[in-house]
Structure 1
């Protein structure tokens, strides 16, 4: 059986933590679909199309990865891409309660889809897209936390 994992997120912007998770997931699953969520409630800095292009550029060298934008219900996106696993990242214990609640709801909506949690590598655990944006907005150096093309896009967006 082919196992396709769908990794949803806003990716505003994609960080080294996200990239680490995708690289490791690509070794575990037959295919990883990175689903970039429109998520207008979060008021993203980058448009959906900009985020999709950044993700494509950053993940271009990883085999078995597809990238798409979506603006519908997650379980519908999972079905659209014929995935059988939802991949979620957990950075800290504080993430767990929310992610556990989402996993339960997704299981009710799509009982045939499993949620799998992965943690980023130790050196990436503290990185969040919102912290990266905050550092960049205040003129800080984000080069240790994101791919160079993302750092350049952040600098251009903030100017």
Structure 2
């Protein structure tokens, strides 16, 4: 049974935090689906991921290509991940369900602390998932590194 980890971005933008979280997930042997809501946003994020990490290569692709099943990290707007993801990273407030949390190794919900709508969406997701009995952790980078602030 997995858990939902909420990452409150206050000191770094998504394009800086996401590559590090993806690298850590790949080191655990997880295949990852980065789920967004807007294909144009995922295009932008795809370009950013080709620039990070500076000292290495972060293998990834966008859904809809001929090799989706082979991608260790797949950017998608869909709930189904053809790469067999065991971890979903939600960006832009993309929906995740309690069934996903319970069926995956990890669900990560990344949200911008400077965006009031993103904060409210993350709070709503926290309430929905914990009410459904999912384990959840809240992490903040306000000190410059990730610190766990709450757990249920």
State the TM-score, normalizing by the size of structure 2: 0.41
- Which has the larger strand fraction? 2
Higher relative contact order (CA 8 A, sep 6+): 2
